[in-house]
Chains A and B, each alone.
Chain A
Amino acid sequence: MRKILAALLIGAAAAAGAGAAMAQDGPLRIEIDQGVIEPLPYAVPDFVPETPAASEYATQIARVIAADLSGTGLFREVPASAHISKVTGFDSPVKYADWKAVNAQALITGAVSVNGNQLTVRFRGHDVFAEKELGTGLQFNGTTDGWRRMAHKVADAVYSRITGESGYFDSRVVYVSESGPKNDRRKRLAVMDYDGANVQYLTNSASIVLAPRFSPTGDRVLYTSYESGFPQIHVLDVGQVQRKVLSSGDGTMSFAPRFAPDGRTIVYSQTQGGNTDLFSMDISTGAKSRLTSAPSIETAPSFSPDGSQIVFESDRSGSQQLYVMPAGGGEARRISFGEGRYGTPVWSPRGDMIAFTKQNKGRFHIGVMRTDGGEERLLTASFLDEGPTWAPNGRVIMFTRESQGSAGRALLYSVDITGRNLKPVKTPDGASDPAWSPLQN
């Protein structure tokens, strides 16, 4: 018993020592790609309400910021119950000694004012041990119904200042909401904030919908619908909730549509005579061109962020594997060579990696590899994991995890590309096929 206690004390001292060392050696910094073992402690006391109507927002905004930062697994909140100082004015001097005493290495202070439906949020980040501000303070203006987005913007700014990478909190996820048992499953398209808040349904559940994808600016969603009785490609304007069918209704199957980075071209799979190939289409003119012509299955395409290449899956070798080809079609190069089957490749927004689903020995994995197939790393393992999508900063992956058996249910999970911080994403019902939006403006 005494031994355990001693070990804990040493652990605490080591953590405090590391904090001090960090402050002396340079700016407060987390290197994400090395994987963080000891999350960085921070405090975010309630923001200061500067108008009477602002108090509720001032508390809630601080809570959303904390949920964003702690949810990354890179930061750990020092809870309000441990705080010594109370922040009563946005411009009052910060009592750094009080925050050092509770080992908060970063401190976020802010103020909120409300005029009518206008909301103004100001914030500052502080490097507690260096006793100075972390970058300059920022102000965000918006409407009260967008208060969560403003909290996400503050958290993105803090994350970015400490990690040196862009954030991902002010983003949305389009997915398929699922209800009912496995043999009578109802599916409809839904969109939500990345953290599961503000769920909005985009279609009813009268026909099957599959695998939605955001346009590069996040204003439209491409997906596959069985509305006509055959899988066809639909595009939906998220703001207006207006729909349009893109593929022809001649009884051929079209599915797996993805936007090119230009937002005007799409690639997709079309099946003729039982054979599935990849095609591209200019969505304004409807002009199509064939990208592959092989007797094998070619599907699940994904553009490189510069639009020059497409990664896709094909079973031309006898089993599902990943290939890269020029965006206009042409010779494809196989990039997956490990054991098992590889599918659903998705190019990272940073351009440096490809996420995929791997099936091996009866298990499913989400993994990442370099774009040449090197450095394959499996991040998850379960009965059925599939369909990765990248956070806008290329550091986190969301995917579908389906549980086994007659009561099996699909839910969304997220994991860091280091394999750490695996956790469920909260949704009101079952959920599958997530696709992450770009950061909002």
Chain B
Amino acid sequence: MSGLKLAIAAVAVLGLAACSNNRWDDTANGGGAGAGAGVGAGALDPASPAYFQQTVGDRVLFLVDQSTLTPEAQGILQGQARWLTQNADYVVTIEGHADEQGTREYNLALGARRANAAREYLISQGVAGHRLKVVSYGKERPLEICSNEACYSKNRRAVTVLAGGLTG
């Protein structure tokens, strides 16, 4: 009996760990569109990657089976473009993702469309194309793991990942 209780407690701990440990999420606060204005954001150095992730917002979200940028997504990308123009040393990889409602290879192609939509928009806002690589993970790297729209809407995303400087 006490063994059973122990097991349940262990499961609960694992469950919590799973919630907070989003291995593929590079922001501390989980993000989502407009993830800015977090606690303590004012203390961040505006030129820091953490500021880009948390205050500017490093990701945009998409509707089901769509790669069209919503007005909200365009707003976030405008902020990203401004930041990237001011911090011209960074190159970025835009990672496109899909939710699990789709076949594997189609979702790879869909994620690529989304990443490319974000890339094209950043270019239209003045960011040089050679700084912007794209890759798609399809449905291979979900952030949220429930099987309903609350999770799916956060998984359909294009994340702008800062990667190193242009200069050595």
Contact = CB atoms under 8 A, between A and B. Distances in A.
Contact of A357 (B23, B103, B133): B103
Contact of A433 (B104, B112, B145): B104
Contacts of A406: 18, 145-147
Interface in B1-59: 18, 21-24
B112 A299 contact: no
B105 A299 contact: yes
A139 B24 CA distance: 55
Interface in B63-107: 65, 67, 100-106
A255 interface: yes
A384 B119 CA distance: 31
A408 interface: yes
A89 interface: no
A27 interface: no
Contacts of B105: 210-211, 255-256, 269, 299-300, 343-344
B142 A183 contact: yes
Contact of A181 (B18, B106, B110, B115): B18
Given A183-B24, A274-B116, A253 B108 contact: yes
B110 A297 contact: yes
Interface in A170-224: 181-185, 187, 208, 210-211
Contact of A297 (B113, B117, B140): B113
Contact of A299 (B23, B109, B135, B146): B109
A337 interface: no
Contacts of B104: 210-211, 344, 386-387, 432-433
B143 interface: yes
A383 interface: yes
Interface residues of B, number: 37
Nearest to A402: B100
Contacts of A273: 116
Nearest to A362: B101
A276 interface: yes
A271 B109 contact: yes
Given A183-B143, A383-B147, A320 B106 contact: yes
A289 interface: no
Interface residues of A, number: 45
A276 B109 contact: yes
Given A253-B136, A299-B106, A181 B112 contact: no
A101 B25 CA distance: 67
Interface string A337-364: 0000001100000000000010100100
Interface in A382-396: 383-384, 386-387
Contacts of A359: 101-103
A359 B23 CA distance: 30
Contacts of B22: 183
A405 B146 contact: yes
B109 A344 contact: no
Contacts of B146: 405-406
Contacts of A187: 140
Contacts of B23: 183-184
B60 to A, nearest CB: 14
Contact of B106 (A184, A230, A297, A362): A297
A187 B137 CA distance: 13
A343 to B, nearest CB: 4
B103 A269 contact: no
B119 to A, nearest CB: 8
A229 B137 CA distance: 10
Q: Determine which residue in B105, B117, B140 has the highest number of CB atoms from chain A within 10 A of its CB, and name it.
A: B105
Contacts of B103: 300, 313, 320, 343-344, 357, 359, 386-387
B113 A251 contact: no
B159 interface: no
B155 to A, nearest CB: 9
Contact of B145 (A182, A255, A343): A182
Contacts of B65: 319
Nearest to A299: B105
Nearest to A404: B147
Contacts of B136: 231, 253, 271
Nearest to B135: A230
Contact of A408 (B112, B115, B120, B147): B147
A276 B112 contact: yes
B134 interface: yes
A326 B112 CA distance: 27
A308 B161 CA distance: 43
A213 B121 CA distance: 37
A231 B115 CA distance: 14
Contacts of A362: 101
Nearest to A319: B65
27 contacts: A182-B145, A183-B22, A183-B24, A210-B104, A230-B135, A231-B136, A253-B108, A253-B112, A269-B105, A271-B136, A273-B116, A274-B115, A274-B116, A274-B119, A275-B113, A276-B108, A297-B106, A299-B106, A313-B106, A319-B65, A343-B103, A359-B101, A404-B147, A405-B147, A406-B18, A406-B147, A432-B104
Task: Give the 4 A-B CB pairs with smallest separation, nearest first.
Answer: A274-B116, A276-B109, A343-B103, A182-B145
Given A256-B105, A344-B103, 11 more contacts: A208-B140, A210-B140, A256-B108, A271-B112, A274-B117, A276-B109, A276-B112, A320-B106, A343-B103, A384-B101, A432-B104
